[in-house]
Copies of this chain bind each other. A is one copy, B any other.
Amino acid sequence: MSIQRVAIVGPGLLGGSIALALRGRKEVSVAIWARRPEMVEELKAMVIAQYTATKLSRVVRDADLIILCTPIEAMPELAREIVGAAKPGAIVTDVGSVKATVVAELGSIFKGGPRFVGSHPMAGSEQTGLRAARADLFRGATCLVTPDADSDAAAVAELGEFWQSLGCNVRHLSPAAHDEAVALISHFPHLLAATLVNVVAERQDTAFDFCGPGFRDTTRVASGPPEMWAGILAANSTAVRGALDAMIEKLREIANILARDPADPAIRTLLTHAQQRRANVRFPNSPNV
């Protein structure tokens, strides 16, 4: 089977960007589900899908690939509707930022039905919603595909090819390894950026008047949607707490060094390690939205 019909469940930044990326591909037709009728009208006006509706079973019934693009909290309920409506051979994936809990829950809902495999295209933005969607959002972005022991190997391969066709670099990771990794490079850094903003505000909020590009970039992610991020942090709290505890411990060590001797060469050493480590990171080409 090749993927010819794609159903997008939830037209936010990611769902909308998938639709835009697929627009104009003659061999692929796109159907989009939105909860609100006004959103369906907006999508129709944009002409980015062959079919748009609020009735989920209609949207997914012919699809070869169904992509859940809603907040993770909403996914189980939608999945239970999809399981009775989708074709048996269909592939279902999601774009949630947390995978262990999501894959376990959705995997059990879809057991014996359409073939579920989790995805996490790492192309977010502090902007959200359909209006921030763009056809090139996935170009150069990493997409983590997270099969588990129950995953269908053919579905994993096809799903990987689909993300690649959108411009992603596809990598495979177990759901648990995924969650540990994204806690370190995304979820905990988000919490840290938000906390930094709050520390500045509470100590000397006039300091914001003098911000340069450094502070702008260091805290950019803190402008992300609080509701969504609170959900992500809750869903991945174990791994986030591990990173948080490690950070607190390191900051304490640094505080002790600075209290003893601000010119201690250990400070330069830790800055050098960070500089060298970061120099070895190959960041994706995806745009800074």
Number of copies of this chain that the complex holds? 2
- Stretch in contact with the other chain, from A8-16, A147-155, A268-276: A268-276
A273 to chain B: closest residue by CB: B198
Are A267 and B200 neighbours in the complex by a CB distance under 8 Å?
no
Scoring A residues 220 to 259 as 1 if CB is less than 8 Å from chain B, else 0, what string do you get?
1111111101100111010011111111101110110011
The answer to whether A217 touches B208, judged by C-beta atoms less than 8 angstroms apart, is no
Which residues on the B side are within 8 Å of A271 (C-beta)? 191, 194, 222, 224, 226, 229-230
Q: Does A184 contact B (CB under 8 A)?
A: yes
Asked if B214 contacts A220 (CB within 8 A), the reply is yes
Q: Does A124 contact B (CB under 8 A)?
A: yes
**Are B275 and A211 in touch, CB under 8 angstroms?**
no
Chain B residues with CB below 8 A from A252, complex form: 248
Minimum C-beta distance from A91 to chain B (A): 22
A197 contacts chain B at the CB level, 8 A cutoff: yes
Chain B residues with CB under 8 Å of A282's CB are: 209
A142 within 8 A of B: yes
A6 contacts B by Cβ under 8 Å = no
The reply to whether A250 and B207 contact each other, CB–CB distance below 8 Å, is: no
Tell me, yes or no, whether A40 is within 8 Å of chain B by CB: no
> A204-B184, A212-B122, A217-B220 are contacts. A197–B244 as well, Cβ < 8 Å?
no
Q: Given A233-B258, A234-B262, A271-B226, do A180 and B199 touch, yes or no (CB 8 Å)?
A: no
Given A191-B271, A194-B273, A230-B271, 7 other A-B contacts at CB below 8 A?
Answer: A171-B210, A194-B275, A197-B277, A208-B277, A218-B220, A219-B278, A223-B278
What are 27 A-B contacts defined by CB distance under 8 Å? A142-B209, A142-B210, A142-B211, A144-B210, A180-B204, A181-B206, A184-B199, A185-B212, A186-B212, A189-B219, A193-B274, A194-B275, A195-B270, A196-B247, A198-B277, A201-B277, A202-B246, A208-B277, A213-B288, A213-B289, A217-B221, A222-B274, A222-B278, A227-B268, A229-B271, A230-B263, A233-B258
